[in-house]
Chains A and B, each alone.
Chain A
Amino acid sequence: MYRSQVLICGGTGCTSSNSRKILDAMYTEVEKAGLSDEVKVVQTGCFGLCALGPIVIVYPEGCFYSQVKTDDVTEIVNEHLLKGRIVKRLLYTETVKEDDSILSLNETGFYKKQMRIALKNCGVINPEVIDEYVGQDGYLALEKVLTEMTPEDVIKTVKDSGLRGRGGGGFLTGLKWQLAAGNAADQKYVCCNADEGDPGAFMDRSVLEGDPHCVLEAMAIAGYAIGASMGYIYVRAEYPIAVSRLRIAIDQAHEYGLLGDNILGTGFQFDVELRLGAGAFVCGEETALMTSIEGNRGEPRVRPPYPALKGLFGKPTILNNVETYANIPQIILNGSEWFQSIGTEKSKGTKVFALGGKINNTGLVEVPMGTTLREIVDVIGGGIPGGKKFKAAQTGGPSGGCIPASHYDIEIDYDNLISIGSMMGSGGLIVMDEDTCMVDIAKFFLDFTVDEACGKCTPCRVGTKRLHEMLEKSQTATAPWKTSTSWKSSAITSKKTRCAVSVRQHRTLCFPPSNSSGMNICPI
């Protein structure tokens, strides 16, 4: 039994600031100090506070060491682990109280308002060791489903929970499953959308890197519910750590008989394969994603028929986002009423946001639905650097919009965001301060869509380009910007296409529709 555990973040954020070297140094130093039998060194997924990486947390004290360098490792081992003297200079300043005592991590501004369901195991377990996941009640939900529940029970539980698609659309997950379950076929498929492409979004990556097994477990549960025996995870090739951990997780699940034939001796059969995306944004769209898995060029198909009837290889298919799946095991274990009790009237549960842009605590947060934008930015996000004023927050990726300061107190949920002309999207939240030029932002996102338009539908292919040109001209003052013209053009662009990639460009364009600090006057 270990008396102490040292957790070192192995997410992409901390890895990019050399956490792997810290991990190696920690192993060496712990061994050198003769503590290998007493202290366990664990590489985990993302803790969330990426801005302070690389992060090392030592339990049971719960000491949060931030921006650790390899040279600091010897000191942590010799002082803290060997002699019990906490290395105060490395502690995250928010965890040190005035009397020099240490505040629990859950009491800090960043963590206090958070509620972790999808990220429950992120930063807690070693994602490359299946036993650690099992130890946190992993695969218990699958066991419960296979031994105690009928597929109808599972669908009813998911439906009653009110869980809505976390990829952005917000469609009721249980309903999606029910539709697919109701369509008879010799083969059905369960797909997972891990082609996270919105600029600034890294929620799904963090779940896959920190807790890959929970996605596999949820997909098996979905397979049981709709009667599918095969699943595909479509993941971006740009996420090498996520891909390698998923591969490890799939192998381990096979070894333990949690994937494959006769799962847990119940006769249920389900398998998962990976498919790597080649970097096209459009492949995050459900029909394009399936076309890509089939081996064709990733272009959207006409809907209907919807995937629940005719999806992958023409068979009934469900496609859910990584974060949606990450909620499933907890819903099965704790019941739909528990999940119902969290969130707002029409948006249940929590939402993971990737905080980026002009904000102090860049990182990953999970909050109950209905948390205000102000709380997320000012309290959890630690405010804006340099005491600058909040100007807007961009949510929903290229199809979303910018929430202006006048809506700073909006309670974030699916319907509220749509009512003010933005959308939930997958969860990227980019904060802009008073110096940010909204025209530049609009241009950036349009530039992105111009690049990423797959070319299938003319209104999108040509329309995004024309809108981009209009913006450029407006900046050089050769043609004054006309909101009405742009609105009309973007409305055409958005309504006449097969998929949602270019939908609602005007949301970012018309910020805020008639506000002097917006479109026409650029502060820089």
Chain B
Amino acid sequence: MKTIAELKAIREAAQGSKNIYEGTEKEIRIVVGMATCGIAAGARPVLNALVDEVTRRKLNNVVVTQTGCIGICQFEPVIEITTPELGKVTYVKVTAEKIPQIITEHVVNGKPVEQYTIGAYKK
């Protein structure tokens, strides 16, 4: 026997999977390079951290997805964030620990975390 409040909690908990289904129509895309190079460099914890962070912050306009080799294997793990305002920004040598900062500053506040981007790394 469930109360109305308990049903509501179940409904809210399911929002995450609802979010995944609508993935193809989202405004903001976060793509993780998951080829052998990416996986070897630790892309999987990064991907999972992204999913957790997006779910935790209830960012319903964001889809987190994976792709194959992006082509810059020496910089893996690589993630690309595409937003309507900023276009595509590439982050390199990403770790799970950097994810909350990247999501907060880039996705929520619209300011890329420059020090982690590929541009900053090359300098």
Contacts and interface: CB of A to CB of B under 8 A. Distances in A.
B is bound to A: yes
Interface string B55-83: 10000000111111000000000000000
A465 interface: no
Given A38-B47, A135-B18, A256-B2, 19 more contacts: A3-B20, A3-B47, A38-B44, A60-B21, A61-B65, A82-B34, A83-B35, A83-B39, A84-B68, A131-B10, A132-B14, A134-B10, A135-B11, A135-B14, A136-B14, A136-B18, A264-B2, A264-B3, A265-B3
A258 B1 CA distance: 8
Contact of A143 (B7, B14, B50, B64): B7
B13 interface: yes
A451 interface: no
A5 interface: yes
A84 B77 CA distance: 13
B51 A84 contact: no
Contact of B55 (A1, A62, A140, A143): A1
Interface size class of B (residues with CB under 8 A): 35 or more
Given A61-B65, A84-B67, A104-B25, A139 B51 contact: no
Interface in B7-60: 7, 10-11, 13-18, 20-21, 23-25, 32-36, 39, 44, 47-48, 50-52, 55
Contacts of B7: 134, 139-140, 143, 256, 264
A85 B68 contact: yes
Contacts, number: 103
A9 interface: no
A40 B23 contact: no
B35 A60 contact: no
Contacts of B48: 3, 38
Nearest to A4: B20
A59 B4 contact: no
A171 to B, nearest CB: 33
Interface of A: 1-5, 38, 40, 59-62, 82-85, 104-106, 124, 131-132, 134-137, 139-140, 143, 147, 255-258, 264-265
B27 to A, nearest CB: 13
B4 A264 contact: yes
A82 B2 CA distance: 38
A60 B24 contact: yes
Given A60-B20, A257-B1, A134 B14 contact: yes
A42 B33 CA distance: 25
A124 B4 contact: no
A52 B63 CA distance: 27
B65 A5 contact: no
A135 B15 contact: yes
B83 to A, nearest CB: 17
B67 A257 contact: no
Closest 10 CB pairs of A and B: A135-B14, A60-B23, A84-B66, A257-B1, A84-B34, A3-B51, A104-B24, A85-B68, A62-B24, A1-B55
A115 to B, nearest CB: 16
26 contacts: A2-B17, A3-B20, A3-B51, A3-B64, A4-B20, A4-B66, A38-B44, A38-B47, A38-B51, A59-B20, A60-B21, A60-B64, A61-B24, A82-B39, A83-B35, A84-B35, A84-B67, A131-B13, A131-B14, A132-B17, A135-B18, A136-B14, A137-B11, A143-B4, A143-B7, A257-B1
A256 B1 contact: yes
Nearest to A132: B14
Contact of B35 (A40, A85, A140): A85
Nearest to A37: B48
A5 B17 contact: yes
B1 A2 contact: no
Contact of B21 (A3, A59, A82, A134): A59
Most chain B CB atoms below 10 A, which of A104, A124, A134, A258: A134
B51 to A, nearest CB: 4
Given A135-B13, A256-B2, A257-B1, A2 B51 contact: yes
B56 to A, nearest CB: 8
A104 B21 CA distance: 11
Contacts of B63: 60
Nearest to B23: A60
A133 to B, nearest CB: 9
A1 B65 contact: no
A135 B17 contact: yes
Most chain B CB atoms below 10 A, which of A104, A135, A264: A135
A255 B3 CA distance: 12
Nearest to A86: B68
A258 B68 CA distance: 46
Most chain B CB atoms below 10 A, which of A84, A105, A131, A132: A84
